[in-house]
Amino acid sequence: MVQEPVVPEPRLPRAVVRRYALGSVGTGGFATLPGLVLIFYRTDTLAVAAWVAGLIVTLVRVWDVLIDPVIGAHSDAALVRCGTRARAMVVGALALPVLFVATFAVPPGTGAALAALWVGVAYLAASTAFSLFQVPYIALPAELTGDYDERSRLLGWRVAVLSLAILAFGGLGPLLRDVGTEYTGYLLMAAVAGLTIGAGLLISTRVAPRMPPGAAGGVRAAGASGAMAAYRAGLRVLRRSAAFRVLLLAFALQAVATGAMLAGANYVAVWVMESELALSLLFAALIAPAIALAPLWGRLAYRIGKKRSFTWASLLFTIGTLALVASAFAPGAWMYLPVALAGGAYAGMQAMPMAMLPDVIGDDAARHGEDVAGVFGGVWTAVETTGMALGAAALTVVLTMTGYVETSGGVTVTQPAPAVVGIALSFSLLPAVLTAASLLPLWRYRIDARARMDDDASKGRP
């Protein structure tokens, strides 16, 4: 019997890669600015207690856990019914800029309780709009290409743009915030950032595949039966895909680590390094190496595989953050060097798991005969955003336990020494421990070698 030759998948057009990557202008902006300034905005401008600020972030992320799997299941249903996932993405892209501005539009003189409620409600609505875009966006790579290396290329460029967006929003956002009064500065920052975020998201919606309604017949319309069906679909993919479970756990631990660092950066600049300018310099030190090295992580994955590349990135990040522990006792300009090492590693920690997720989705589809990429994307997004929020919440716990003093706009305070040490350790020791722990589940990931061998065989490579 003559075996039919396997035709390799075509290389993704550059326009598709560019448009998909541009979505990370928006996702990077929304992930960066709230994580960087929102808790600081509450504690040091609105005089909201640190534990209240942390509680609000946690409650918003609980909502994300509830809504993201539902959005993912409905995205799969929409793919069957309408032939595309783009509709929800467009709604989220249009709504997010307005809701983002509303989050930072608390009028001067508003009481702390009402201010906390205002920000909490607006941020919850903005997070919902973000999920409408983000969940289908994460599902797209598995549908854009089935090629192992093309997925690395696609996600590598996405991470390069993501890193550039983090640098731009993290570096320029605080500078815009410092224009005018604290209240008008935050509003200006939110308006400029919101418009930029919305533009990036809208451009990326054009990359979503469009098929005739009903053409994606292998997709189960899990969202058609309501929220409980969506949760059951999410639990089903967790139960049946061991690779998804271990990859998700590793990524979740690293999300907590990066969430703690992101939320702590503003505090480190002001109270540890005692310089407002240090915040922009910290971001430059963190993200500039990530931008430079993002394509190199893709090339490394081509040579040694995604799992091993992910492992090396995690180890380097652990080393960089562990070196920062000394900042609790001797802060200074030397901190930019280990931050740069962590930044270069961060690019790999983002690119590799996002390139591995489509492999997991493809493996599951091959084993079970159904494509539920939206369900995978919903669970992934819920866990990622929850991890980032838990990192921020961990910082607020440390601030509360060490006696951090909240303040309203324009009022100067002195922080107790334990609070300053706690801020430094939240930025260094906590991320190091969590990232090191993420290597344990990653060790059990098994798809990488098999996927690469199957892909090499399809391309006729030895």
The DSSP result for 61-100, as a single string, is: HHHHHHHHHHHHHHHHHHHHHHS-SHHHHHHHHHHHHHHH
Asked if residue 10 is part of any domain, the answer here is no
Other CB atoms within 10 A of residue 411 CB: 11
Question: For the CA atoms of the chain, what is the radius of gyration?
Answer: 22
pTM to 2 decimal places: 0.73
Q: Report which of 121, 119, 112 is spatially closest to residue 49, judged by C-alpha positions.
A: 112
Q: Report which of 263, 261, 290, 256 is spatially closest to residue 435, judged by C-alpha positions.
A: 256
101 vs 105: CA distance, rounded Å: 6
Residues 6+ apart with CB under 8 A from 169: 28, 29, 32, 33, 36, 193, 196
Range of the domain at 432: 15-218+233-458
Number of domains in the chain: 1
Asked if residue 48 is part of any domain, the answer here is yes
Asked if residue 108 is part of any domain, the answer here is yes
**Any idea what the CATH number is for the domain that residue 256 is in?**
1.20.1250.20
pLDDT at 221: 42
pLDDT at 195: 94
Asked if residue 225 is part of any domain, the answer here is no
Please, what are the averages of pLDDT over each run of 10 residues along the chain (462 residues)?
A: 47 87 89 79 80 80 85 86 87 95 88 88 93 90 81 80 81 79 85 93 88 53 61 88 94 92 85 82 83 83 90 96 94 93 91 89 85 85 83 87 74 81 93 96 80 48 46
pLDDT at 410: 56
Asked if residue 268 is part of any domain, the answer here is yes
pLDDT at 198: 93
Task: Judge contact between 415 and 404, C-beta under 8 A.
Answer: yes
Asked if residue 412 is part of any domain, the answer here is yes
Asked if residue 223 is part of any domain, the answer here is no
β-bridge mates for residue 46, sequence order: 408
Cα 4 → chain centroid: 42
Asked if residue 452 is part of any domain, the answer here is yes
| φ and ψ of 330, to 5 deg | -145, 70
